[in-house]
Structure 1
Amino acid sequence: MRNKILSTLIGLAFVGGAQATDITERLVVPEGFTIEPYALDVDNARQMALSDTGIVYVGSRKAGKIHALIDADKNGQAERKVLIAEGLNMPSGIAFKGGDLYVAEIERIVRFKDIDKSLDKAEMEVVFDQLPDKRHHGWKFIRFSPQGDLIIPVGVPCNVCEEDPEFGLIYSLDMDTKEVTTLATGVRNSVGFDYHPQTGNLWFSDNGRDMMGDDIPPCEINVITEQGQHFGFPYFHGGTIADPEFGKGKNMSDYVQPALNLGAHVAPLGIHFYTGEQFPQTYKNQLFVAEHGSWNRSKKAGYRVMMAHVEGDKVTGYTPFITGFMENEETFGRPVAMIQMPDGSMLVSDDYANAVYRVQYNKK
């Protein structure tokens, strides 16, 4: 349904350098849901993290900033925004654990201790500095595993290439010993992952290579079922499409097939398994996917939030959840990531509209 409240509230916000008057009026969610602003004017909003006290922290990429969003009266809209840090090196990925905020820059992981109590006075310390410093696909999404390790992806610094083993992977970092364990290889550029609430397996998005045309190769959703699995890059794309340069002499059966092939160039970023009680039961344990949208396609694709229907580790369907970020080749917003709030509502970040939206279901 169309939400006219948002149009009024965001009427004078700046989107992509131009004044926006109707972006949120365009956003469409399924019947029974509403989408409203949680916070506006949040520079380049990317991954979000929720603290134990309910403060929402937001990373950025090009802006180099970390913000805190505070909804003190719990009315579903942040009334205060605090700049935690600026001048960071693409701090896209953030995670909260034990009262501390962890931030992934290109080449290191930093920490702000007791962040809720310090906010604009927070002091930063480096906790791990052994990451590659290549900026191409160097920005990150991070998350703590159920066992307490920090999950970190390292994208390849190219469109397509054979690189050394420190690139094209997802690994876990033991926060005590600083030892790393490779979880997956053959990953071009993952900027989103989440653990299946029932199987415990790690699912991740992966952005497909460019310059093979409008319609190939597909972007992917993958699932790790065994430690160290290889997901095909740069030899195969979408599981079965041999790379014209690197696929020669390779066998696709040597690599893990995607759980779901998406459209080419739709750029899936954040993914999130919904585990709350507010949405209808048909949404429980289903996977939301933020398709950030294409930049190199003759006709744009993506620019929406989708829902993958999941049974165990199999995808049985893929349907729209939020649309309206793009229409007739004009971009109004680009969804990035989702987090679930304690009441079961869901926040969605938008780095193009510089906004965070709140989606809730209105029980009858």
Structure 2
Amino acid sequence: MKKQYKLTTITSAFAAVLLSSQALASDILSRLVVPDGYKVSYFAKDVENARQMAVGKDGTVYVGSRKAGKVHALIDNNRDGIADKKILVAEGLNMPSGIALKDGDLYVAEVERIIRFKQIAKNLKAPVKDVVFDDLPDKRHHGWKYLTVSPEGELIIPVGVPCNICAEDPKFGRIFSLNLETKAFSTVAKGVRNTVGFDYHPVTGKLWFSDNGRDMMGDDIPPCEINRVDEIGQHFGFPYVHGGSVLDPEFGKGKSVTDYTMPALALQAHVAPLGIHFYRGEQFPKAMKNQLFVAEHGSWNRSKKVGYRVMLATIENDQITGYQPFLSGFMENETTYGRPAAVAELSDGSLLVSDDYANAIYRISYNNK
């Protein structure tokens, strides 16, 4: 006879799991590990589902979310490295994970459109949004986004594929560039499964981006990727080739790995690299200048968890020569305490790391004394 459960039992069990998760998250700071000379502290707590961050000229930190549907502004009035005010900029949005600032305007990427809050710093008490572009696909599967502004002033927008693996479609699986004046929408890169992290190299001006590999091929294939765009329109393999080396069992027939752009670095399968950031500041040692931080959100489609850390990629002459942990402790013995999502930089050269699992933003500072 099939066992029947009462709703109250299920509800109680769910509540217990939720409380357990909250308890784990609240204990995370003491678990986090950074290299000698660095310190990690809370910049802000209780920032629901914190994802991409954008830092204003006045130091205000804007934060998007994915599941929460909210955008917040965090203000550190006394510049002590801890936000003392949290303002809700918007709510009820469709997965507003990606945000960017340009000329004082805050751009927010929903699944199907880009909205803008003009001169946001002057209008925090009564922000008004307008729609700047509404011709994006409305598919929610990999529909959340990341934003940045190109050196030419255009808005860089990714559109992930609406599947785990599916046929190539010019509306999906690409990184696009939006001219905010003419609304011209053009392709920057093709064959990109799902990128929610990119940044321009401060010296070369080249766009680097992370990409999440497909699922359901086992624990150890295919690799996730860090990529570099050398020419506009390059094809990075999806859905035919993964990680520069693995032919897809369904779509890779008759294809060659040499027909597509190789990744700058093939990562471990399922580590889920999200936000990436080139260090531009002066607070960290000189050797850190222009090096790349990568937030590995962590696996779900794997028998043993991997990722759950922030990595440091050492770059010399446009090549990644090293890749090592920088911030860890988000997962231990298969227990998740946090999931890093994005990296941003304050004007003093300290780094911010968002955590959409623990609903927190951490600040990493350096003191060689």
Fold conserved (TM > 0.5)?
yes
Distance 1:20 1:106, change over 3 A: closer
CA offsets, 1:60-89, max 9 Å, x none?
Answer: 000000000000111110000001110000
Question: 1 CA distance for matches of 2:354 and 2:163?
Answer: 26
Distance 1:24 1:208, change over 3 A: same
**What is the DSSP-based 3-state SS (H/G/I as helix, E as strand, rest coil) of the residue aligned with 1:172?**
strand
**2:158 matches 1:117:** no
Question: 1 CA distance for matches of 2:26 and 2:188?
Answer: 45
Q: Which residue of 1 aligns with 2:236?
A: 231
Which residue identity lines up with residue 213 of structure 1 in the other structure?
Answer: G
Question: 1 CA distance for matches of 2:271 and 2:102?
Answer: 31
How many matched pairs? 352
**2:251 matches 1:246:** yes
User: Does the 8 Å contact 2:354/2:360 carry over to 1?
Assistant: yes
CA offsets, 1:136-181, max 9 Å, x none?
Answer: 0000000001110000000000001113211000011000000012
User: Does the 8 Å contact 1:219/1:267 carry over to 2?
Assistant: yes
Residue of structure 2 aligned with 1:52, choices 57, 69, 77: 57
User: Does the 8 Å contact 2:25/2:357 carry over to 1?
Assistant: no
CA offsets, 1:244-300, max 9 Å, x none?
Answer: 000000111110000001110000000000011110112111100000000111000
Distance 1:15 1:84, change over 3 A: farther
User: Does the 8 Å contact 2:270/2:299 carry over to 1?
Assistant: yes
- Which runs of 5 or more structure 2 residues have no equivalent in the other structure? 1-17
Which residue identity lines up with residue 266 of structure 1 in the other structure?
Answer: V
**What is the DSSP-based 3-state SS (H/G/I as helix, E as strand, rest coil) of the residue aligned with 1:52?**
coil
1:127-206 equivalences in 2 (<5 Å): 127-206=132-211
**What is the DSSP-based 3-state SS (H/G/I as helix, E as strand, rest coil) of the residue aligned with 1:103?**
strand
Question: 2 CA distance for matches of 1:260 and 1:219?
Answer: 9
Q: Which residue of 1 aligns with 2:84?
A: 79
- Shift of residue 312 of structure 1? 2.4
Percentage of pairs with the same residue: 68
Which residue identity lines up with residue 235 of structure 1 in the other structure?
Answer: Y
Question: 2 CA distance for matches of 1:69 and 1:95?
Answer: 15
**What is the DSSP-based 3-state SS (H/G/I as helix, E as strand, rest coil) of the residue aligned with 2:124?**
helix
Q: Which residue of 2 aligns with 1:4?
A: none
- Shift of residue 240 of structure 1? 1.2
Distance 1:246 1:19, change over 3 A: closer
Which residue identity lines up with residue 269 of structure 1 in the other structure?
Answer: L
User: Does the 8 Å contact 1:107/1:132 carry over to 2?
Assistant: yes
Which residue identity lines up with residue 147 of structure 1 in the other structure?
Answer: E
CA offsets, 1:323-357, max 9 Å, x none?
Answer: 00000000000000111111100100000000000
Which residue identity lines up with residue 287 of structure 1 in the other structure?
Answer: L
Report the aligned-residue RMSD: 1.2
User: Does the 8 Å contact 1:304/1:320 carry over to 2?
Assistant: yes
Distance 1:224 1:19, change over 3 A: closer
Residue of structure 1 aligned with 2:353, choices 338, 348, 351: 348
- Shift of residue 189 of structure 1? 0.2
Q: Which residue of 2 aligns with 1:37?
A: 42
Q: Which residue of 1 aligns with 2:110?
A: 105
User: Does the 8 Å contact 2:276/2:295 carry over to 1?
Assistant: yes
- Shift of residue 20 of structure 1? 4.1
- Which runs of 5 or more structure 1 residues have no equivalent in the other structure? 1-12
Distance 1:173 1:254, change over 3 A: same
CA offsets, 1:211-232, max 9 Å, x none?
Answer: 0000000100000000000000
User: Does the 8 Å contact 1:14/1:353 carry over to 2?
Assistant: no
Q: Which residue of 2 aligns with 1:272?
A: 277
User: Does the 8 Å contact 1:199/1:312 carry over to 2?
Assistant: no
Distance 1:106 1:15, change over 3 A: farther
**2:337 matches 1:332:** yes
Question: 1 CA distance for matches of 2:362 and 2:19?
Answer: 16
**2:101 matches 1:96:** yes
13-22 or 58-67, which deviates more: 13-22
Distance 1:25 1:165, change over 3 A: same
Which residue identity lines up with residue 172 of structure 1 in the other structure?
Answer: S
Which residue identity lines up with residue 36 of structure 2 in the other structure?
Answer: E
Residue of structure 2 aligned with 1:62, choices 37, 50, 67: 67
Question: 1 CA distance for matches of 2:20 and 2:101?
Answer: 28
Q: Which residue of 2 aligns with 1:8?
A: none
Distance 1:55 1:14, change over 3 A: farther
Question: 2 CA distance for matches of 1:19 and 1:325?
Answer: 10
Runs of 4+ displaced beyond 2 Å: 13-22
Which of the two has higher C-alpha Rg? 2
**What is the DSSP-based 3-state SS (H/G/I as helix, E as strand, rest coil) of the residue aligned with 1:171?**
strand
Q: Which residue of 2 aligns with 1:26?
A: 31
1:289-304 equivalences in 2 (<5 Å): 289-304=294-309
User: Does the 8 Å contact 2:37/2:367 carry over to 1?
Assistant: yes
